[in-house]
């Protein structure tokens, strides 16, 4: 057992955890934040995606003790108290979910992706910061699987937010986390 301190959705938390505890288990079982889902427990599906210090991570693969001192944002921390995060609103408007199991991970991944810069595997000009086209979004979100096949609507929702200044729109997550 070891004591760790981290900020979860803007709230400092000190916990005593077993060194084998994953961040996903810490969030779900110790803190009651059940938005992040355990889809595969192997880092292959993305249902457990959270933001660690603003970067996307599969929480099922991240040991909780390794996150000591980090800021963790889950789907519960994306929105403000009174308003939805622009991605959440776009997912609802674009019907970008069916069963909803993958949606928390999709939302966290999209929020992190909107802040990422630089080329991806499909970028033609590697010296540029490419526009977030549908092809770029599909590539950058490829680590998040949807068993229902809502990909077309997920890409449309993320495209909508990106077109509305999406990289800046994801700052809402950071603002929500600093509450």
CATH number at residue 154: 1.10.150.120
Residue 135 is part of which domain span? 86-177
Q: Which of 76, 104, 136 is the last residue of a domain?
A: 76
Chosen domain end from 47, 76, 105: 76
Question: Is residue 22 in a domain?
Answer: yes
What is the pLDDT averaged over residues 109-132? Answer: 90
Question: Does some domain include residue 128?
Answer: yes
Domain boundary among 32, 55, 76: 76
Q: 106 with 171, same domain?
A: yes
**Could you report how far apart the first and last alpha carbons of the chain are, in Å?**
29
In a shared domain, residues 40 and 72: yes
Least reliable range by pLDDT among 24-33, 58-67, 141-150, 161-170: 161-170
Determine, yes or no, domain membership for 81. Answer: no
Structurally, how many domains does the chain consist of?
2
Same domain, 121 and 139: yes
Report the range of poorest mean pLDDT among 3-17, 20-34, 45-59, 153-167: 153-167
Q: How far is CA 51 from CA 93, 119, 127, 130, 149, in A?
A: 24, 20, 26, 22, 24
> Do the beta carbons of residue 167 and residue 161 sit within 8 Å?
no
Cβ-based neighbours of 164, under 8 Å, separated by 6 or more: 86
Instruction: Say if 56 falls within a structural domain.
Output: yes
Q: Is the pTM of this model over 0.85?
A: yes
Residues 17-41 have a mean pLDDT of 97
Tell me if 68 is assigned to some domain: yes
Let me know whether 90 and 66 are in one domain: no
Average pLDDT over residues 64-84: 95
């Amino acid at each position: 057992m070891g004591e760790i301190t981290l900020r979860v959705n803007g709230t400092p938390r000190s916990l005593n955890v077993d060194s084998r505890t994953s961040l996903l288990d810490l969030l779900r079982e110790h803190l009651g934040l059940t938005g992040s889902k355990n889809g595969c427990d192997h880092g292959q599906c993305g249902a457990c995606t959270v933001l660690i210090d603003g970067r996307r991570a599969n929480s099922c693969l991240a040991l909780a003790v390794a996150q000591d001192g980090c800021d963790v944002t889950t789907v519960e921390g994306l929105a403000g108290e009174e308003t939805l995060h622009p991605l959440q609103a776009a997912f609802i408007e674009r019907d970008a979910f069916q069963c909803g199991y993958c949606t928390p991970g999709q939302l966290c991944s999209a929020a992190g992706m909107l802040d990422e810069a630089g080329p991806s595997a499909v970028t033609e000009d590697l010296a540029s910061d490419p526009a977030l086209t549908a092809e770029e979004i599909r590539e950058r979100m490829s680590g998040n699987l949807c068993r229902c096949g809502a990909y077309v609507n997920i890409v449309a929702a993320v495209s909508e937010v990106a077109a509305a200044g999406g990289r800046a729109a994801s700052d809402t997550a950071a603002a929500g986390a600093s509450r």
